[in-house]
Amino acid sequence: MRLTLVANPPDDTNLRVLRQLGVEEAVHYDMTGLPEDGAALDAIAARYRGFGLRWTIAESGPPIDRIVMGKDGWQDQTERYKRSLGHLGRLGVEVVAYNFMPQVFDDAMVVRTAMERQTRGGALTSGFRVADLAALDLHHYEEPIPRDRMWDNLERFLRDVIPAAEAAGVRLALHPDDPPLPEMCGLQRIAGSVENFDRILGISPSPANAMTFCMGCFAEAGHDIPALVRRWQGRIGFVHVRDIRGSWDDFIETFPDDGQTDLFAVFRALVETGYDGPIRSDHAPLLACDDGANDGYAMSGHIFALGYLRGLADAAVREGQATGV
C-alpha cells in the first residue's frame, strides 16, 4: 500500500508538507479536467518532481462530459482522451480516477446538502439528507437521457479507451456515484451499487478496467466494506479512505477514527488480498486551526488522517507478516 494525499491548494508549502509526511507520490486533483496538451502535462509532472514527488495519480482525468451523456462531440472527446492517456503513461501516471456521473456541477454530481454540520469537538463537516435535496434547488441545463442509454455510453467509452490505457500502462479507476442514488436532479446515475460495479467490471476483464474503491460511498450504502475488498480483489486501482455516521439518506462525514466502519478490518482485507496500489484520505472535517469554508480538503484534517491511516497500514502489514499472509 502506498499512502498519498491531495495537496489543497497545491502551493509550495503544501507540496513540501507532503514530502515531510513521507508521501512520495502526487495525486493531481482537478475535477474540472486535465489539460490535453502534452507540454502542459509535462509542466505538471515537472512541478511535482521539483518537490521530490512522482506524479502517479490523476484525478479526475480528461473531460468526459459529452461522453457521459452521448452528446455531439463525444467522438472527438474520446479521441482526445486516448491521446491524453498516452501522454500520462509517458509521464509515469499509473491511475486515472474518473467518475461517470453527469458532469453538471464543479464536482460533477457529488452532492452534499450541508457543509457546516458538526462532528467531534465541533469540527465542521459535510452532510447529506435526501429530505433536504428539494430545498437546494439544484439547477442544471443537462437534458436527461434514459438509463439504458447511459449504460451504452459507458460501455462504448470503455471499449474505445481501454486499448489506449493498456498501451500507456494506465489503469482507469471508476469512482462510485456519491451519494449512491440511482437518480438525482432528474438525471440517471449508474455507478452507485455493488451490482452496478459487478456489471462495469464485467465489461472488460482488462486490468485497465478498474475501480476507485471509495470506502465512504460504500459505507453510505450500508455495505460490509472488508467483504467488498475481497469481492473485487485485483480490480481495485485506487483507494479513498473516508468514513461516515448514518445511512444513504441521512449521513455526515467523520474523522477516520470516529465513524461507523472498522477501518482496521478494511486494511487487514487489503493486506490479505495483496493490494499494493495508492491510498489517500478522502474528505476530512475542518479543524479550528484552518481558515476558510469547509470543502473537505483543508490540510490539517488530512494530515491527521494520513497519520492515522499510516498506523492502520503498518499494523495490518505487520499482522499479515506475523500470520504468513
- Say how many CA atoms lie within 13 Å of 69 toward its Cβ: 18
- pLDDT for the residue 246: 97
For residue 162, give the nearest of 201, 106, 198 by alpha carbon: 201
Domain boundaries, the chain: 2-323
pLDDT at 100 over 90: yes
- pLDDT for the residue 139: 86
As a whole-number percent, the residues of the chain with pLDDT over 90 amount to 91
Cβ–Cβ under 8 Å, residues 37 and 116: no
pLDDT at 178 over 90: yes
- pLDDT for the residue 43: 96
pLDDT band, very low/low/confident/very high, at 134 (cuts 50, 70, 90): confident
Residue 259 CB neighbour total at 10 angstroms: 21
Q: Please report, for residues 1, 54, 127, 181, the alpha-carbon distance to residue 309 in angstroms, rounded to integers and kept in the order given.
A: 11, 20, 22, 28
pLDDT band, very low/low/confident/very high, at 277 (cuts 50, 70, 90): very high
pLDDT at 36 over 90: no
Terminal-to-terminal C-alpha distance of the chain: 14
As a whole-number percent, the residues of the chain with pLDDT over 70 amount to 100
Per DSSP bridges, beta strands 278-281 and 250-254 are unpaired
Mean pLDDT of 106-135: 94
Q: Residue 123 carries which side chain, given as an amino acid letter?
A: A
How many helices (H) does the chain have, and how many strands (E)?
Answer: 11, 14
- Residue 110 corresponds to which cell in the numbers above? 457529488
CATH superfamily of 2-323: Divalent-metal-dependent TIM barrel enzymes (3.20.20.150)
Cβ–Cβ under 8 Å, residues 255 and 119: yes
- Residue 240 corresponds to which cell in the numbers above? 479513498
Cβ–Cβ under 8 Å, residues 52 and 19: yes
**What tens digit of pLDDT does each residue of 153-164 get?**
999 999 999 999
- pLDDT for the residue 107: 77
Cβ–Cβ under 8 Å, residues 170 and 85: yes
Report the predicted TM-score, pTM, of the whole model to 2 decimal places. 0.97
